[in-house]
């Protein structure tokens, strides 16, 4: 990833950040037009012609591995004292949770103070992972060594140690963890990536050649094109890894405004960069390997709740306009329909003919 400041004509005091592709293989360079702009970013160095990201890693391994109830964690220590946009986190933990053979979670969070996390009570289904389909490997476990990791797929059924597929590989870029700026990048096994939103795309399959940056931040905005953010936010994607169809899914749990980039490195390797302006790094990895099984692992078996205060209420405009479905009385039921209870709804299906919908929230009509 490169960053370039482009000034608008007639008003050089105002500019716009654009992301461009680097020439350096698997490197992240801050390419800015002017020296003083480069100097304003603490992690960048001006060499008289270009602005480059300083060498080194933001974090190093700060201590020995610590076992936890569902996995393990490593303490991390900040190795640089320069910042990108805000105050850097000095001490962190990299924690791994093994919920099942196909569900892996990893977090990077502040070790000194509590930061905001999504306030949701997760109903994780835990199975002791006796044959996990993943293998998370640190670049080095030695204290003081630069922090980085990769995740490989393990094919237990075939009897082999692994099938050679690297799901995540952070060697493509630095992990930046600051108070108001988070960034993590990874190489991907293929360009067959689907998901993320809500943004406008011409196809379900993402275009890596475009190297666009999409914003994830809910906004009352219709889908009229471009890379702007729309109504909803769902930082979840599927990646089909190769010709055999094995697929994995990744969910980034963060409620702050985010953005993502899918691009090719200068070595033509597909990569993903995720950013946020707050919170922590919190990822859930679902190994599949079937496409449908990822959704099953992700959602499990959601229950239908009749109480709209705890479930999805009717849309405001649809409820007020009463245009799609409404509670009906018996006089609205077509003569050729015989409901088996007094509580039912009247609606329309395709083709546009009247039909009766039982009230599934009532035990009398549940069957």
- 44 and 192 housed in the same domain: no
- 76 and 175 housed in the same domain: yes
Domain boundary among 274, 299, 324: 299
Is residue 321 situated within a structural domain? Answer: yes
Is residue 90 situated within a structural domain? Answer: yes
Is residue 142 situated within a structural domain? Answer: yes
Q: How many domains does the chain have?
A: 3
- 269 and 159 housed in the same domain: yes
Is residue 324 situated within a structural domain? Answer: yes
- 165 and 25 housed in the same domain: no
CB 213 within 8 A of CB 259: yes
- 155 and 220 housed in the same domain: yes
**Which pair of structure tokens corresponds to residue 260?**
């993502």
Domain boundary among 28, 53, 78: 53
- At residue 61, the pLDDT reads 95
Is residue 307 situated within a structural domain? Answer: no
- At residue 281, the pLDDT reads 97
The candidate with the shortest Cα–Cα distance to 217, out of 255, 250, 165, is 255
Q: What is the reported pTM?
A: 0.72
Is residue 48 situated within a structural domain? Answer: yes
- What's the CA gap between 115 and 52, in Å, rounded? 30
Write out the residue range of the structural domain in which residue 348 sits.
Answer: 316-365
Is residue 340 situated within a structural domain? Answer: yes
- 141 and 249 housed in the same domain: yes
CA angle 207, 186, 160 (to 5 degrees): 105
| Tens digit of pLDDT at every position of the chain (367 positions) | 444 444 344 444 444 444 444 443 334 444 445 666 776 766 677 777 666 666 557 899 999 999 999 999 999 999 887 777 788 899 999 999 999 999 999 999 999 999 999 988 887 777 778 899 999 999 999 999 999 999 999 976 655 555 679 999 998 888 899 999 999 999 999 999 999 988 888 889 999 998 888 999 988 888 887 888 888 899 999 999 987 889 999 999 999 999 999 999 877 899 999 999 999 999 999 998 988 889 888 887 766 655 545 544 545 454 444 444 444 444 454 444 444 444 444 454 555 566 565 665 666 655 5
- What's the CA gap between 141 and 346, in Å, rounded? 63
- 90 and 48 housed in the same domain: no
- What's the CA gap between 77 and 63, in Å, rounded? 9
- 254 and 322 housed in the same domain: no
Is residue 269 situated within a structural domain? Answer: yes
User: Domain of 125: which CATH number?
Assistant: 2.60.40.1760
Domain boundary among 272, 299, 326: 299
- 116 and 244 housed in the same domain: yes
- 267 and 360 housed in the same domain: no
CB 96 within 8 A of CB 64: no
Could you identify the residue written with the tokens 């000034």? 7
- 239 and 204 housed in the same domain: yes
- 153 and 11 housed in the same domain: no
DSSP track, 116-170: --------------SS-SEEEEES--STTSBP-EEEEE--TTTTSS--S-EEEEG
- At residue 211, the pLDDT reads 87
């Amino acid at each position: 990833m490169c960053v370039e400041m482009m000034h608008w004509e007639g008003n050089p005091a105002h500019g716009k950040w654009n992301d461009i592709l680097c020439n350096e293989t698997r490197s992240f360079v801050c390419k800015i037009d002017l020296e003083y702009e480069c100097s304003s970013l603490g992690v960048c160095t001006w060499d008289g012609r270009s602005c480059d990201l300083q060498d080194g890693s933001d974090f190093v391994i700060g201590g020995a591995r610590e076992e936890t109830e569902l996995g393990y964690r490593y303490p991390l220590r900040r190795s640089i004292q320069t910042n990108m946009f805000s105050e850097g986190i000095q001490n962190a933990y990299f924690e791994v949770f093994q919920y099942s053979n196909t569900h892996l979670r990893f977090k990077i969070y502040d070790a000194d103070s509590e930061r905001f996390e999504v306030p949701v009570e997760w109903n994780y289904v835990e199975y002791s992972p006796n044959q996990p389909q993943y293998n998370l490997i640190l670049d080095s476990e030695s204290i003081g060594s630069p922090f980085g990791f990769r995740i490989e797929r393990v094919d237990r059924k075939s009897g082999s140690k692994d099938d050679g597929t690297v799901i995540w590989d952070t060697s493509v870029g630095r992990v930046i963890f600051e108070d108001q700026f988070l960034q993590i990048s990874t190489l991907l096994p293929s360009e067959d990536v689907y998901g993320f939103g809500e943004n406008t795309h011409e196809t379900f399959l993402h275009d890596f050649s475009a190297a666009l940056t999409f914003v994830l931040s809910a906004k009352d905005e219709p889908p009229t094109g471009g890379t702007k953010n729309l109504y909803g936010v769902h930082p979840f994607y599927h990646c089909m890894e190769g010709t055999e169809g094995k697929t994995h899914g990744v969910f980034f749990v963060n409620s702050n405004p985010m953005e993502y980039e899918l691009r090719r490195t200068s070595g033509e390797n597909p990569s993903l960069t995720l950013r946020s302006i707050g919170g922590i790094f919190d990822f859930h990895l679902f190994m599949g390997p079937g496409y449908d099984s990822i959704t099953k692992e992700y959602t499990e078996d959601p229950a239908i709740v009749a109480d709209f205060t705890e479930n999805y209420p009717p849309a405001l405009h649809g409820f007020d306009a009463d245009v799609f479905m409404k509670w009906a009385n018996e006089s609205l039921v077509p003569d050729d329909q015989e409901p088996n209870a007094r509580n039912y709804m009247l609606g329309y299906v395709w083709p546009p003919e009247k039909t009766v919908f039982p009230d599934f929230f009532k035990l009398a009509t549940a069957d």
